[in-house]
Amino acid sequence: MSVHSTAIIGPHVKLHPSVAVGPFSIITGDVSIGAGTVLHSHVCIGSEFGIVSIGEKNEFYQGAVIGGTPQDLKYKGEPTKLIIGNNNIFREFCTLNLGTVTGLGQTVIGNDNLLMAYVHVAHDCLFGNNIIVANSTQFAGHVEVQDHVTIGGHCSITQFMRFGRFSYIGASSSLNKDITPFTMAEGRWAKLRATNKIGLERNGFDQNEIRNIHKALRILIKGEGTVSALVSRIKEECKASDSIQELLHFIEASQKGLAR
């Protein structure tokens, strides 16, 4: 274990022997950190409240504050959680909060994600895997981000939103409605604009399936009428596939409405 002499480690902290802790970092409270994780200087993890569980080979850059209490006036010091998986990168001054008992009770970050500088993830957010979030994007509470989502910098995201798999969000967007899988969106307020064809190609989607997804999304984005009517058109006009079923399930499960 490599712990700099200026770092402060609380009595209840559990560090794998291979963890590296840089200068002036503070780890306190009920915190466990897995193998190969690196904390650069001035990183703060944990607090007197809550539980923070961090997996293997994560990297925290200068000034990151991880596992702080929720910015929620209803929070009263309950032992809620922040759970982080493996192989994530948190750049300078990222902030991630614990969950709340009125939400899921935990904030969760999956594996292989990159959160760039000044990204804020509020209480009860759920992040999947292989997500990229650019600088200064801010997530309110209870936001779900599914796998392989890319979000540009300086985006503002309201609570209870969902981002479907392989969606792409343009920089400086403000979002208050659900973003369907496989789409590109941008604007204030953001709207669905196009199919994320490049993202799908890069991730090995078959060209026939990309065309099928594109047809479904054109119906959703360009079509007129209610969402339920457009869903019926997609079912009738597009070839049944796992991707189409995923898209339809996402639409039908939406509580916030779609960014159309």
Judge whether 81 and 98 are in contact, CB under 8 Å.
yes
d(CA 170, CA 259): 13
204 Cβ neighbours under 8 A, 6+ residues apart: none
Distance of CA 42 to the CA centre of its chain: 24
Amino acid identity, position 163: F
Cα–chain-centroid distance for residue 191? 19
Could you tell me whether strands 156-157 and 20-21 are parallel, antiparallel, or unpaired per DSSP bridges? Answer: unpaired
Catalytic residue positions, numbered: 123-124, 141
Cα(3)–Cα(113) distance, rounded to whole angstroms?
Answer: 25
CB 77 within 8 A of CB 98: no
**Please, what sign has the CA dihedral across residues 134, 135, 138, 142?**
positive
Q: Which two tokens stand for residue 229?
A: 């009517």
The H or E element that residue 149 is part of is: none
